[in-house]
Structure 1
Amino acid sequence: MILQLSSPWRWVAMLAVVLLASCDSSELYEQNIDLKDASGQPYVWAVQEKPSFTFTITDTTQLYDVYFNIRNAADYGYYNLYVKHTLTAPDGRRVSTLLHEMKLMDAKTGEPLGNGSGDIFDHRILALPQQRFHQPGEYRLTLEQYMRQDALAGIMAVGVRVARHEAAP
């Protein structure tokens, strides 16, 4: 016996299949924060703004890849972005602090890098490859823009993605 779904249920079933197929089984955590300055002006990363992301690690035997997500407008004034991260363990101990240079545009041509549509570009940059977390619990990752500018226009959002490291085949 073949079960035939009425038209509305057929659409619901197809949507469920698409959603389940698009899930990334290695992803543990992902969050993005839209940026604006103190006056409410959007797409500005103020030097005082230090977005923090909290994620939970339960398996300390696993290696993880930590990515930074950056969304910028095409009118962002630089080809790169310096971001400092501070990773704090569940016991409050600082695990790491590092300054990252991320290329958002080709330095010679000015051509935007990343995935884009119109004048908006998304970048997923591997910042901490094969990271090992030695304690189970909640970790906090704080990001700071390090561009020597109080208000960095053109950066729309920043985020963090934590995924289980998968060895290349």
Structure 2
Amino acid sequence: MRNLMLTLAAAGTLLLSACDPSRVYEQNVELPEKSWTVDNAPVFEFAITDTTKRYNVYFNVRYSLAYDYYNLYLQHRLTAPDSSLVSSTLTELHLMDAKTGKPEGKGSSDIYDMQSLALKEIAFPQVGTYRLQLTQYMRRDPLPNILSVGVRVEEAGN
């Protein structure tokens, strides 16, 4: 029964994603043992074919309410097809309201998904495959109760 539910959920996700014309790329990576170690820095590769358009880049985080902090610091490194650096920034994501503790994002029970705009209306100067690496930048290693992280790239203005 559980496998059937997972299969139906995956099929539903595929159907919904097919109806999203602004999305260029979206990928999430599950973290082992529901913890994010500093040395586990997922790399997301996506193709850009139109350099005249502007794009929005989002960071996706799935977390448990057992997460000990209200925020999450991420360091990203975005490189162009020729390996030149496009962007590198430390970003603070607010997973919970600092005063009330109310979780941000969508979820139920104790698991929440949050999508945060990280790069707004960015221009990609070259056609080809870009690489975006995410590293957790908290003082705790491993960082428990972060279940997965990901990246979404979409055309801006849609």
Q: TM-score normalised to the size of structure 2? A: 0.88
- Specify the alignment match of 1:109 in structure 2: 100
Structure 2 unpaired stretches of 5+: 1-10
CA–CA separation in structure 2 for the residues paired with 1:44 and 1:94: 28
CA–CA separation in structure 1 for the residues paired with 2:102 and 2:146: 16
- Specify the alignment match of 2:6 in structure 1: none
Number of residue pairs matched by the alignment:
147
CA–CA separation in structure 1 for the residues paired with 2:39 and 2:17: 40
> Quick check: 1:98 aligned with 2:83?
no
Residue in structure 2 matching 1:123, options 114, 125, 129: 114
Partner of 1:19, secondary structure, is helix
Q: Deviations over 1:16-48 (max 9, x none)?
A: 9x9379610000000000001xxxxx2100011
- Specify the alignment match of 1:11 in structure 2: none
CA–CA separation in structure 2 for the residues paired with 1:101 and 1:23: 30
Aligned pairs for 1:19-168 within 5 A = 19=15, 23-36=19-32, 42-166=33-157
Computed over aligned residues only, the root mean square deviation of the Cα atoms, in angstroms, reads: 1.9
- Specify the alignment match of 1:3 in structure 2: none
CA–CA separation in structure 2 for the residues paired with 1:146 and 1:21: 30
Q: Deviations over 1:115-159 (max 9, x none)?
A: 011100000100001010000000000000000111000100000
CA–CA separation in structure 2 for the residues paired with 1:81 and 1:25: 30
CA–CA separation in structure 2 for the residues paired with 1:19 and 1:47: 34
CA–CA separation in structure 2 for the residues paired with 1:117 and 1:49: 27
CA–CA separation in structure 2 for the residues paired with 1:46 and 1:165: 32
| Structure 2 CA distance for partners of 1:60 and 1:49, relative to 1, 3 Å | same
CA–CA separation in structure 2 for the residues paired with 1:131 and 1:157: 24
Q: Deviations over 1:83-112 (max 9, x none)?
A: 000000000111110000000001011111
| Structure 2 CA distance for partners of 1:21 and 1:44, relative to 1, 3 Å | closer
Q: TM-score normalised to the size of structure 1? A: 0.83
Runs of 4+ in 1 over 4 A off after TM superposition: none
CA–CA separation in structure 1 for the residues paired with 2:132 and 2:17: 29
- Give the Å deviation of 1:54: 0.1
